[in-house]
Amino acid sequence: MTQIFKPGVKLSSKVCKTQIMVLRIPAIELEIFCGGLPMEVGDPDVLGEIQGENNGTLVGKRYTDETETMEFLCTRGGEGSISVSGHKIDIKAAKKLPSSD
Amino acid sequence: MNIYLILQMAAEAMGDREAVKLNNDSITYSELNYMSKSVASLVKNNEKIGFLSENNLLMPAALFGAAIAGVEFVPLNYRLSEEQLNMQLKRISPAILFTDQDIKCKGIKTIGITTLALDNKAELDNYSDDEAVAVELFTSGTTGEPKSAVLKHKNLMAYILGTVEFMSAGAEESVLLSVPPYHIAGIAAVLSSSYSGRKIVQLPNFSAEAWMRLVIKEKITNAFLVPTMLKRIVEKFDDNLSLPSLKNVAYGGGKMPRSVIERAMKLLPHVNFTNAYGLTETSATICMLGPEDHRSAFNSSDALIKRRLSSAGRPIPSIELIIKNDEGNICLPEELGNVWVRGEQVSGEYKGIGSKLDSEGWFPTKDRGFLDSDGYLFIDGRADDVIVRGGENISPGEIEDVVRTHPNVEDVAAVAVKDIEWGEAVGLVIVASSPIEDGEIIKLVRTKLRSSRVPSIIKYMDELPYNETGKLLRRVIRDNFAD
């Protein structure tokens, strides 16, 4: 089921430990998946079966679509991959800044 | 978004790493997480969490604990007079105050630093996740009554997510923290170190000798210093010393004299220096002069490149910065004006005063400065410190830079003094290494600048009044002239 997501919301995978936080997202109806199943608020009691090919998620990495209209922060890594209906989601390259404090 | 997310992620991904160390005691991210929950469990009725102490292992737990409980963390300056402190305590009441001082103030419940039981078990898994205020900081008040700046969770998180990569520090990395908890750099250090996984080693009472000893003993890789601290370090530096573990030194919080940074770069050629310019109201750093900028400026024979050693650098990617003149128009390169910034990390809000952002989200920093043709920012001083002589704006910094070139001048400050003819005129305070004739200074200023910059009065002092984080207290000097 599609819905409009708000920045700051945390979503959990239904197939693995992956948890993401939405940093940026267009205010349109979307569905966010991990390992083939839709992600939801709150950790599931039982994990479902992972579907399709998955590269997994890494804690601390940012994930974004090709045009960077949406961005997710992985707050807990897992085996499933993130996908959004109609968009290809990939790791965002980190911009390296010197440490300032 | 809540800053507790930082600790939650660190505890989950690298729970066994050392998070904070003081002398021979240290705690891991898991233990810090546990302590923070213990702090949060003390909050029963939305009391704020105050912190009146030097840095210690409890400080990061108090910061994150307040975030878990959804209340404000308010670090207070332990060097304030009793009267000033009481005034601030009244402003933050009701609060739980971590301190070893004997405090009696209505609505303030004190808890000793040493008595917090670590077995104070609390399970708080649902923390406040809104856009509430995370930290309230009293600004240094160099120009008047301290204001309290509020930093929201979303401001601080924007700063961290915009500048730090999660777990990017190697397990062997450590940062030596010698700025106090009530300074924005002391808060930012806890957040960015926890997010990058870099151990904080605390040095509560800074001295150059103690700092150098600790760098060697703890094989410190990173450090943050205010200019006064770096000045003392280069003065005490023994030529046999090399500090091989030290890789990155960031500095900020005040104007860095060019002679000090040049000397530091000569003494520590292997160290990467970064100038971090920011304000309390902007959740720390908004501009950086990075290590490569330092080296190219240091080695350049082009005066315009060389002077970048005195620059605040360029805005970080998540910050927009413009210079506007007093009429509100954008300044050209090299044209001095007021510095305005915009970005998610910029709060610009004060308790009881409200937001200082304009309708388009721009914050007036009240710093004056200019950009060079490549976008490097040069800070001239505070707008409030400008001397208005017969309608002409005069920057103290311009005069100070010239006077400082006199071989007998160790330190100097120019301030506005009352003048019957001009409204204001230039008053100069000099710290001299050996006697100077007033005439030499007057001649120097007249030749290098112009007659309106010539001081109408010159005083000599043994040292200038700085606060403990290296900010020159111009107000004290102005008061001194007024007497």
Contact across the interface for A60 and B166, Cβ inside 8 Å: yes
Smallest Cα distance from A75 to chain B, Å: 6
Contact across the interface for B165 and A94, Cβ inside 8 Å: yes
At the fourth CATH level, which superfamily is domain B4-310? Answer: ANL, N-terminal domain (3.40.50.12780)
Averaged pLDDT, B199-224: 97
Contact across the interface for B274 and A98, Cβ inside 8 Å: yes
pLDDT at B140: 64
pLDDT at B275: 97
pLDDT over 90 at B53, yes or no? yes
| pLDDT band at residue B483 under the 50/70/90 scheme | confident
Which of residues B25 and B450 earns the better pLDDT score?
B25
User: Between β-strands A19-24 and A10-12, what pairing exists: parallel, antiparallel or unpaired?
Assistant: antiparallel
Q: Which residue of A has its CA nearest to B278?
A: A100
Q: Which of B58, B64, B53 is nearest to B118 (CA)?
A: B58
Q: Which residue of A has its CA nearest to B167?
A: A60
Smallest Cα distance from B252 to chain A, Å: 9
Cα-Cα-Cα-Cα dihedral of B208, B210, B214, B220, to 10°? Answer: -20
Residues contacting residue B62 through CB under 8 Å, at least 6 positions apart:
B39, B49, B51, B73, B98
Averaged pLDDT, B332-336: 96
Residue of A6, A43, A61, A99 to mutate when probing chain B, most B C-beta within 10 A? A99
Smallest Cα distance from A61 to chain B, Å: 7
Query: How many Cβ atoms from other residues are within 10 Å of residue B284's Cβ?
Result: 29
Smallest Cα distance from B9 to chain A, Å: 6
Q: For residue range B365-401, what is the model confidence (pLDDT) as tens digits? A: 999 999 999 999 999 888 889 898 888 888 898 899 9
Number of A/B CB contacts below 8 angstroms equals: 72
- Sort out which chain A residues have CB atoms less than 8 A from B276's CB and list them: 100-101
Contact across the interface for B1 and A8, Cβ inside 8 Å: yes
Averaged pLDDT, B261-270: 95
Averaged pLDDT, B355-363: 96
| pLDDT band at residue B115 under the 50/70/90 scheme | low
Question: Taken in order B439, B445, B446, B450, is the CA torsion positive or negative?
Answer: negative
Smallest Cα distance from B63 to chain A, Å: 17
pLDDT over 60 at B142, yes or no? no
- Sort out which chain B residues have CB atoms less than 8 A from A100's CB and list them: 163, 192, 224, 250, 252, 274, 276, 278, 284-285, 288
pLDDT over 70 at B403, yes or no? yes
What letter represents residue A53's amino acid?
Answer: E
pLDDT at B349: 94
In A, what residues contact B, Cβ < 8 A?
Answer: 7-8, 10, 21, 23, 59-61, 73, 75-77, 94-101
Averaged pLDDT, B272-293: 97
Q: Which helix (H) or strand (E) holds B342?
A: strand B337-342
| pLDDT band at residue B113 under the 50/70/90 scheme | confident
pLDDT, averaged in runs of 10, over chain A (101 residues): 90 97 94 96 94 94 94 96 91 87 83
Contact in structure between B428 and B399 (CB atoms under 8 Å)? yes
Of A23, A59, A97, which has the smallest distance from its Cβ to B9's Cβ?
Answer: A59
Kindly state the percentage of chain B with pLDDT values over 70: 95
- Sort out which chain B residues have CB atoms less than 8 A from A101's CB and list them: 185, 188-189, 192-193, 224, 250, 276, 284-285
- Sort out which chain A residues have CB atoms less than 8 A from B175's CB and list them: 99
pLDDT at B443: 95
Averaged pLDDT, B142-165: 88
Question: Taken in order B436, B442, B447, B450, is the CA torsion positive or negative?
Answer: positive
Contact across the interface for A59 and B166, Cβ inside 8 Å: yes
> How far is residue B457's CA from residue B418's CA, in Å, rounded to a whole number?
11
Domain ranges of chain B: 4-310, 386-482
Name beta bridge partners: B73: B49, B135
pLDDT at B62: 96
Residues contacting residue B348 through CB under 8 Å, at least 6 positions apart:
B281, B282, B355, B356, B357, B363
Contact across the interface for B166 and A21, Cβ inside 8 Å: no
What letter represents residue A32's amino acid?
Answer: I
Q: Which of B145, B136, B140 is nearest to B71 (CA)?
A: B136
Smallest Cα distance from A39 to chain B, Å: 19
CATH 3.30.930.10 for domain B386-482, yes or no, is no
Kindly state the percentage of chain B with pLDDT values over 90: 79
Contact across the interface for A75 and B129, Cβ inside 8 Å: no
Contact across the interface for A100 and B161, Cβ inside 8 Å: no
Q: Exposed/middle/buried for B3, CB within 10 Å: 0-12, 13-18, 19+?
A: buried
Q: Strand, helix or coil at A79? A: coil
Smallest Cα distance from B285 to chain A, Å: 7
What radius of gyration, in Å, describes the C-alpha atoms of chain A? 13
| pLDDT band at residue B201 under the 50/70/90 scheme | very high
Tokens of B113: 């630093």
Contact across the interface for B165 and A60, Cβ inside 8 Å: yes
> How far is residue B280's CA from residue B284's CA, in Å, rounded to a whole number?
6
Cα separations in angstroms, B202 against A36, A76, B54, B59: 46, 29, 10, 10
Peptide bond into A26 cis (omega under 30): no
Residue-wise DSSP of B259-311: HHHHHHHHH-TTPEEEEEEEEGGGTEEEEEE-HHHHHHHHH---HHHHGGGGS
Residue-wise DSSP of B122-138: --------SS-EEEEEE
pLDDT over 80 at B114, yes or no? no
Smallest Cα distance from B319 to chain A, Å: 13
Q: For residue range B40-51, what is the model confidence (pLDDT) as tens digits? A: 989 999 999 999
Contact across the interface for A98 and B252, Cβ inside 8 Å: no
Of A73, A76, A101, which has the smallest distance from its Cβ to B250's Cβ?
Answer: A101
Averaged pLDDT, B65-92: 92
pLDDT at B331: 97
Residue of B163, B183, B187, B344 to mutate when probing chain A, most A C-beta within 10 A? B163
